[in-house]
Structure 1
Amino acid sequence: MSAQVHRIDPTVFARWPGYCRGIVAVRGARNGPSSPALIETLRQTEAGLRSRTAGRAVTDVPEIAAWREAFRAFGAKPAEHRSAIEALSRRVLRPDTLPHINALVDIGNIVSLRHLLPAGVHPLPGTPTPLELRPARDGDRFEPADGGDTEAPPPDEIVFCQGSQVLTRRWTWRQGAGTQTLPSTSAVFFNIDGLPPVTADRVRLAMQDIVTLVEQETGGQIVCCAVLDAAHPTLTLSIES
């Protein structure tokens, strides 16, 4: 066994002191097509979002407006680069139904819509290079999942990375090549991001929903469930060699 470090750079908390990130790590999941029950849960969650936001513009929803302000603060234009929760919500509010991709991805979408926060899922790395949320640096590179040209994020952009490989650009905007959760993926970690007015307690509720759905739908083993915040910016968990 070796150690996998997840950490958040202090500059993130200096600029957004109320930010927190929940991490749920899973092993032994039976991923693949979602069950009829999970698909029905996704449809019910979509309907719940439409009911909760009826009569409001998506940009007026406080949880989404918070991400728009954060994006502006590090130089992104939220009308062009929408946070994951805004993009997901807009699609549902067209109205449209989300495709059921696989169980782990669908669980992330359900929890994201239910709690109005970004909830991404990544394969659990097999190497011990630390995972970091931080401002972009010289030498950072992002490989788009669509096979497009390699990108160099500008300084000050908030990125999620492993070494110089950017896994997600613009904090919660888009994951890169090699980060997709496939039907064969059995070991993953979920990131659940909370900006005020979302509280750490609300992030924990979302994490518990992930735990329940993962155990029910995939039989996965929860190996870590923790919240990173300004007082606890680093997490170390064991990974298989």
Structure 2
Amino acid sequence: MKYTVKPEVFELSENLCFGIIVARGLKNTETSDEEIERLRNAEEKVRKLVPEAELKTQPVIEGYRTVMKKAGINPNKFVNSLEAMMKRVIKGGSLPVINSLVDLCNAISLENQVTLGGHDLADIHTDLSVGFTKGGEKFLPFGATEYETVEPGELVFTSGDVVQTRKWIWRQSELGKMTLETKDVFFQLVGFGDSPGSPLSNALDSLEEILHSKFGGRWERYIVKKEQPEIQF
């Protein structure tokens, strides 16, 4: 199976980097008290370090918003997933406890301020790509049972003609959500640069650490960027 980021995506930002981990044979569980504590600590760190008035100007958030604007997406109406999480937390809310894999991914996302999406490969049967829709692609909203049709020219993450994430990094599909039965996952993280110590690199390191210490299985790590826009896994 292939994962490709189309050339027109890198025209939005040459520094865009997609961190990919493909994991198989994972053993997900209910969230432990220790894992809930890690998530709550990550939330508290955000509250202490990021005033609400400065959220949109955090480096990675600002980068996401700039890319979305260039892609014709209103970042205020379609708030990227990381910004939405951080805004909820800064306003005093807490993220719901779902399962160990989801909750630890959310903790890593908050700790490193990088968007992190996990997609169950049991629901993915064709090649993956990030690019603009041609029109007619289908999207199953989270919690829904009926597909909606996506208009042409929208920046999305797709599996064939099925959209996995709309408006680039706004909202994931019901298809591919991580459950207690999830065993094989395609993780997609988005940053600007992948040098050691960067938010993207640190988040990938953290994700590998929890896979090793908690979930078992095997995995492969990739970086997709302008110079290497495609991988096979």
- The verdict on a shared fold, with TM-score over 0.5 as the criterion, is yes
Residue aligning to 2:152: 155
Give deviations 1:19-47, integer Å, cap 9, x for gaps. 01001111221112112221111111111
Letter in 2 for 1:49: V
- The aligned runs of 1:1-241 (5 Å cut-off) are 4-54=1-51, 56-125=53-122, 129-147=126-144, 150-195=147-192, 199-201=193-195, 202=198, 203-218=200-215, 220-237=216-233
2:119–2:185: 8 Å Cα contact kept in structure 1? Answer: yes
Q: What CA distance in whole angstroms lies between the structure 1 residues aligned with 2:176 and 2:125?
A: 16
Whether contact under 8 Å (2:157, 2:168) holds in the other structure is yes
Q: Report the Cα offset of residue 192 of structure 1.
A: 0.6
Which 10-residue stretch deviates more, 70-79 or 109-118?
70-79
Q: Which runs of 4+ in 1 moved over 3 A?
A: 125-128
CA RMSD in angstroms comes to: 1.7
Aligned-partner SS, 1:92: helix
Report the Cα distance in structure 2 between the residues aligned to 1:52 and 1:154, rounded to whole angstroms. Answer: 39
**Which amino acid is 2:95 matched to?**
L
Task: Tell me the number of residue pairs that the alignment of Structure 1 and Structure 2 aligns.
Answer: 230
Cα distance in structure 2, aligned partners of 1:144 and 1:55: 28
How far apart in 2 are the matches of 1:26 and 1:127?
Answer: 14
Do 2:18 and 2:189's aligned partners in 1 also have CA atoms closer than 8 Å?
yes
2:148 counterpart SS class: coil
